[in-house]
Amino acid sequence: MRNFLYKYAAFMEGSYGFDVLGGALIVLSLILNIISRFFFRLFWVRLTLQLVSLGLVALFVFRFLSTKPYKRSRENEFFKPAIDAVVNFFKFNYKRLRDGRTHRYYKCPKCKAQLRVKNIKGKHTIRCPKCGTHFEKTIR
């Protein structure tokens, strides 16, 4: 077993390895593969989705074994804002669903920041912690 690990370490030396973009490629490939299972009667749609999925896996393997870390890290840095936006969107909407009975969410009219306010009936003066703007909202 030890001999295998030494050979694997020697093989992987100098390669780029796993990153956020690689993980997203694998997840997208898995999702496309699962979706293709629903089109079991439409052969061409299923084949196309599976070929795209296979292409994404091939791209992942190419990036994983690449010996040009500068290029791969630039690709990853270009991709990170997009994946962060998607992750933040789902995190925020999860929080909104979780806190739906106890809190309300409002946007600051000036900086458009999302503000969480306790769900207490009446008129409230809300202060944005980001820009300091005060605005009023009525909760019914």
Lowest-confidence region among 3-17, 44-58, 98-112? 3-17
- Mutual angle of helices 69-98 and 20-38, in 10-degree steps: 60
Residue 2: pLDDT band with limits 50, 70, 90: confident
**Is the pTM here over 0.85, yes or no?**
no
pLDDT in tens, 63-118: 999 988 899 999 999 999 999 999 999 999 999 999 888 999 998 988 888 888 99
